[in-house]
Structures are given as structure tokens and as C-alpha cells.
Copies of this chain bind each other. A is one copy, B any other.
Amino acid sequence: MKYTKATNYALHIMAYFVKQEGTDNLSLQPLASHMNISPTYLSKILTQLVKADLIQSTPGANGGYSLRKTKTEISFYDVIQAIEGSGALFTCEMDENRTCQIEKVMQDAEAKMVNHLKEKRLVDVV
């Protein structure tokens, strides 16, 4: 179990957006060269961030991407959830009908990590 590279990229991208807040739309190409990712793959990640309502995209000439929310509102968890999804890290899937005690412990542990990620905001690290 590891976080995907896409999550790493997304966090750094969002941090970059926060740092550049107030400037014009950021276009795909400059972002890609700054991040050292291929533009096409970057666009996939950005699309996920758009769907999560963290950034917005404006097509056409002079288009690009920009923050949707104000920078103080965006937590680490917002970004992670946009990429990794919102499912629990551990689900039991044994045939037991009643709730699995092991699953409960695992999800309590996960909640502690999530709480920390919800408290931390991107502004804290730029």
C-alpha cells in the first residue's frame, strides 16, 4: 500500500497554485515543464482536480487553470480525496454479516490520519 505518484503530483501542483494565487490562468505547458511531467499526463490529473472543484479550467485561447476556492480553504485531504477517492483504506469483505471488529480498528486508525490531513492546509507549507 502506497500513495500513488499522481497524489504526489497533485499536492505539488496545488501548492504551486496557492503560491501563484492572483496571477493569470496557468496554462498546461508551463505547468508541465515546471513540474517535470508530460503535459498529457498532467492534464489527466488536472481534470481530476477540476472535477473535485478545487480548480477551474477555461478553454480556448488565453485559457488555463486557476484556483476555484481561496487558498486558505484547501486542506491536504481535499487534494488527496480528489485523486485517491473517498473509499476506506481497509474493508473486510469476509462473509461475516455482522460488522468486523478488525475492520473497525483499522478504520479508526485511518480516521486519525484523515483528521490530521483535514487540519493541515496547503498554505501551511508554501
Contact = CB atoms under 8 A, between A and B. Distances in A.
A116 B115 CA distance: 13
Interface of A: 1-5, 7-8, 11-12, 15, 36, 76, 84, 87, 89-90, 92-95, 101-102, 104-106, 108-110, 112-117, 120, 124-125
Sorted from nearest, which 5 A-B pairs have the closest CB atoms? A113-B113, A101-B125, A109-B116, A112-B112, A3-B90
Q: How many copies does the complex hold?
A: 2
A contacts with B: majority SS: helix
A36 B94 CA distance: 9
A53 to B, nearest CB: 21
A90 B1 contact: no
